[in-house]
Amino acid sequence: MSEHAPYDLRIAAGGDQFPVAEERPALSWKLPRTWRGQDGYDLQLRVDGVEQSVENVVSARHLFVEWPLPPLRSRQSVSWRVRTRLGGRSSDWSPWHAFESGLLEPDWSARWISPQEDGGYPRPAYVLAGGVDLRGDIAQARLYATALGVYEAFVNGTRVGTAELAPGSTSYGDTLYAQAADVTALLRGGGNDLEILLSDGWYRGGVGTWRKRDSWGTTTAARLQLHVRYADGTETVAVTGADWTSRRGTVVAADLMNGQTTDFTALPGAARPVRVDAVTAPPISWSPAPPVRRVERIAPRSVTRHGDGACIVDFGQNASGWIALADLGPAGTRTVIDHGEHLDPAGDLTTAHLDSRRPGEPAIPFVQRDEVVSSGRPGEVFEPRHTVHGFRYARLSRAVDPAGIVMRVVHTDLRPTATFACSDDDLNRLHEVARWSFRGNAVDIPTDCPTRERLGWTGDYQIFAPTAARLYDVDGFSRKWLRSVRDDQLDDGRVVNSSPDANRLKVRDEPMVNGITGSAGWGDAIVLVPWELYTTYGDTAALAENWPAMRRWVEWALATARDARHPSRVERSAEPLAHEEFVWDGSFHWGEWLEPKERAADGSLVDPVMSDPMAWYLADKGEVGTAYLFRSVRTLADVAGVLGHAGDAARYRETAERVRRAWQTEFLDLEGRTKTGTQASYVRALAFELVPEDLRERAARHLVGLIDAAGGHLGTGFLSTADLLPVLADSGHPDVAYRVLYQRSSPSWLGMLDRGATTIWEDWDGVAEDGTATASLNHYSKGAVIRFLHTHTLGLRQAPGSAGWESFVVAPVLDPVLDRAITWATGTFDGPQGRIAVDWRVEDGHLSIAVDVPGGSEARIRFPDGSTFHTGPGRFTQRRPIN
């Protein structure tokens, strides 16, 4: 590849075997490696072989460039390349990049087909079968398919594509994605068999804590369209319709959460006509996200026989996926496989910590169970691709050959974008544990956990999105999920707690769910996640498509702050004080959530929600609500500025200042103390810039005092833990930040690792000293701490005001406590401008920093002694003494 040409061409679209776009795909490229920028470009495009040029475009933009030609039609093949210009000189041409447009909604002639079902539960997966006769001179074939349910497509007995759990999780009332595949090599002249294996999936299967079924509909359906082009240019099209049949197959039970049962001895059921157009579905579109795939294989770390003849398999890593089992035993052998995150003191699998509980009601046992019955045929492998589990351990009902079992790690195939390593192995391990936790919660949508709930909680992703955007390219993944957030938004502007919303609160009356919808820190995801996509990737489309939903959410929150008051303030003053118009305290908030639990006299943990639900529900959480109201209103003003809405930008900027003053009046005293007096309240106040400049130092000292009083332990929960260490370091207390980071007794991150964590826990005390587990052992939100390792320990962060990493800062924050200090760190970030590499080392009282700056970026390198260097693309090295 030429150093003098643009590279890494891409479009804002997903796809399996090849990128698949809608009508107007945005184009992006990286600049030649030595170029600081561009002032223009030329494009060459071939659409269905017809070449077109777009020349002499005057623009510095090279990320998310608008489609320059008329909208694409269905099934068009496109290749394109770019040449950039700067100051009168032109680069070499880039390599060609190819993609296709999908089968667009108006051109679907296939009918929706549904199986003839027998009723009952558990439900099987059904085989939908059809066929087509073809000529022998096949030049190209594309198969387009989708489903209400989860499906696999087969051509002449061969599975199509590499995507898993298609078509993925969406708010099916409004959005449904299709998949495209090149099946040219699978077809032959003469008769060809087409099959779809269809199960409930997210559409109709158990969802959430209570395994709610039929959330989006009671009838599954599939739609398939095959386009075959012959050598002479003529075509044959085969579609699903009334001539297809349905039957039961070997997958006799399939639920995405509970598990799958396959009976290889089961005889094919009788073929019956399909039901045609028995469902109502939204228009078909094409996902911007990469597909879910089997991304890794993990062999067992150990296989241990248990007293009842079962065996416990430890894969050494908590992850999402399933097991592939090749040792199925003789014909008729049934193997039951239970999956979980934890072992009890006797070494047996336990999932009791994941049981679902409502106050005053018996627990609902948590189950992830697959079963298989062997036919005895050689080469038979059980791989349950119509379910997915969160697990480290598996309990098999019989002994198996360890060589015949493997974990298949399954999640969205995100492109890794960051590396990190340093001289402290514990921190390296923490980085990997947090990364695995996100991987396990990235199965098509960002979930809270891969086990008990497996829901796209807005608060979780709002917290973790900045960390996710450092670790992986999550632009398309996030935009896909945000479409569900918009789909689920209520008419009054509230954003639901999790999306896709299996409660269907937008169309169903659920009083209890309605009463806990619209929380600060959760609904704010509709503002804060798109802003993160813009700042990280330069993706203005993420702002534009979410702008109406952002405004509706913020306007609802502002109106609620004005019209509703917490009872404690009504008691204080019958008439609201002037500033209370902007205090958001009168509606439901989750609050900080999951701060370290206090202990009862007997040493047991006290759950503030379960022990007194009503007191927790009614507690004043206005500090959290008002802080997030300020943050979202201020961010909305920034969004308006980027989108060119000058009037809105000015109005929201002024409103944000009024919210900030209200927060200061209500929740901060003249000594810089917060009214609630918690670590979380200080972290939030400092991170969100709520504290006046002349009080910031005092507020930071109050925070440090609380940490000291807790013996060097953190006291933050869900919302503010990610900001704790950056706030400490940026306010002049890096020693305290590293003290908290290195803490090993509970609550702490390294304490989790010392107790065997391979993913981040939901509770700080997820595993007690006696080995008892509590709540989920794979919740990524507290793992957001590892962003500190990138932004402060490594020292790489984007410069203020920059978007798309056009400008960045390298300023390592060293631990002043020398006997524990890190002596070197190295890392990379493959950002939208190219790869940034940072390497620093402390030797002989000097700090050496080396930085690789990609084309399109500029860097400022700052040493602890205050020395600052500015540089453009290329390699920078410098050595300075440490004061």
The residues that are catalytic are 453, 762
| β 113-114/89-90 pair status | unpaired
Sorted by sequence, the CB contacts under 8 Å of residue 277 that are 6+ apart come out as 111, 112
Closest to 229 (Cα-Cα) out of 411, 408, 49 = 49
Q: Is the peptide bond before 747 cis (omega within 30 degrees of 0)?
A: yes
Neighbours of 708 (CB within 10 A): 12
CB–CB of 817/805 below 8 Å? no
**HSE-up of residue 612 (Cα within 13 Å, Cβ side):** 6
d(CA 705, CA 711): 10
Asked if 750 and 744 touch (Cβ cutoff 8 Å), the reply is yes
Q: Taking the chain, what is the end-to-end CA distance rounded to the nearest angstrom?
A: 44
SS (H, E, C) 706-756: HHHHCCCCCCCCCCCHHHHHHHHHHCCCHHHHHHHHHCCCCCCHHHHHHCC
DSSP symbol at 331: T
Burial of 665 per CB tally in 10 Å (0-12, 13-18, 19+) = middle
CB count within 10 Å of CB 614 equals 8
Whole-angstrom distance, CA of residue 340 vs CA of residue 351: 6
Cβ neighbours, 10 Å, residue 201 = 27
Question: Which residues, including other chains, have CB under 8 Å from residue 184's CB and lie 6 or more apart?
Answer: 138, 139, 140, 141
44-53 contacts at long range (C-beta below 8 A, 24 or more positions apart): 44/80, 44/81, 44/82, 44/93, 45/69, 45/78, 45/79, 45/80, 46/78, 46/79, 46/80, 47/72, 47/76, 47/77, 47/78, 48/76, 48/77, 49/77
Exposure string over 753-770, b if 16+ CB within 10 A, otherwise e: bebebbbbbbbbbbbeee
DSSP letter at 222? E
How big is the CA angle at 284 (ends 282 and 290), to the nearest 5 degrees? Answer: 125
The amino acid that residue 617 corresponds to is: Y
Distance CA 447, CA 457 (A): 6
**C-beta of residue 429 within 8 angstroms of C-beta of residue 753:** yes
DSSP 8-state secondary structure symbol assigned to residue 874: E
- Residues contacting residue 364 through CB under 8 Å, at least 6 positions apart: 210, 211, 355, 356, 357
Dihedral sign for Cα atoms in the order 633, 634, 635, 640: positive
Of the candidates 501, 506, 453, 507, the residue with the CA atom closest to the CA atom of residue 481: 501
The answer to whether 593 and 762 have CB atoms below 8 angstroms apart is no
For residues 837 and 418, give the distance between their C-alpha atoms in angstroms, rounded to a whole number.
10
**Residues, the chain, total?**
883
User: Maximum Cα–Cα distance for the chain, whole Å?
Assistant: 85
661 strand-pairing partners: none
